[in-house]
Amino acid sequence: MVLETKNLGVTIENNEILRGVNVAFSEGKRTSIIGPNGAGKSTLLKALSSLNTRYDGQVLLDGADVRAMGRQELSKKLAILPQGATAPADVTVGQLVDFGRFPYRSWLRPSDPKADREAVEWALDRTHMTGYKDRRVAVLSGGERQRAWIAMALAQQPQILLLDEPTTYLDIGHQLEVMNIVDEINRDYKMTVIMVLHDINHALQYSDEIVVVKNHGIFAHGTPKEILTVDMLGEVFGVKADIFVNSQGISVLSPVSLVEEAGA
């Protein structure tokens, strides 16, 4: 299942955010979208998911325009976890995850309790949240809350999972926990993952492909080894960095100064 854009353009309140974006996301791969603040990363993700349909051009899912699909039909194929998701104070983790079954329910078609229960239990298990099922979302830690939201997205049983900065505001341990869960879902179920990331080293470690957004469009698209270089960091982020290989054999970029400081 391929998700792609054709000449995508987004303008918000007379501000051009994206222009002429053509990009295709590979099936079964982990793709990270990176770029400077304000480059349009989240805007691109919202267009891909149809959270925003006010754009020029097309977003295509297996060749079909997503704007022609019903919300429930599309939600069976892709799920998104946007930034800053909130839930009513009295909602439990189990109830939140059960909300993810909405694509399979309608007034005309009653839900399948067995299928719903199995999907919720699977999602809770994959995110290590089974023991939190009866807790209120409001009392969870930041890392626990993020795992609960990911579980809700997984309960949709999508083929494509979209995540907008899934590790923001989490400490290092919870960041790795969330990234490892996403990695396991991709590996075990071949689920396509498209995520906006700020952490360059997470993008290096947890991506098969990288899309760099800059100046309203796609600056680069390729493998982490091809894209995440010292030169790219300087050109896109204005940062001078060192690169080295850690104990796991993974390349790590370590910013050391701003480019203008380095050349002063």
Domain ranges in the chain are 3-228, 230-264
Kindly report the CA angle at 207 between 210 and 196, in degrees rounded to 5? 65
Summary mean pLDDT of the chain: 94
Kindly report, residue by residue over 111-165, the tens digit of the pLDDT: 788 999 999 999 999 999 999 999 999 999 999 999 999 999 999 999 999 999 9
Give mean pLDDT, residues 236-245: 94
The architecture that CATH gives domain 3-228 is 3-Layer(aba) Sandwich (3.40)
3-state DSSP call for residue 103? helix
- pLDDT bin (cut points 50, 70, 90) of residue 261 is low
Is residue 64 over pLDDT 50?
yes
Contact criterion met (CB below 8 Å) for 21 and 9: yes
pLDDT at 264: 45
pLDDT at 1: 62
**Position with higher pLDDT, 107 vs 3:** 3
Kindly report, residue by residue over 165-211, the tens digit of the pLDDT: 999 999 999 999 999 999 999 999 999 999 999 999 999 999 999 99
> Cα separations (Å) of 200 from 83, 230, 254?
18, 11, 9
Is residue 248 over pLDDT 90?
no
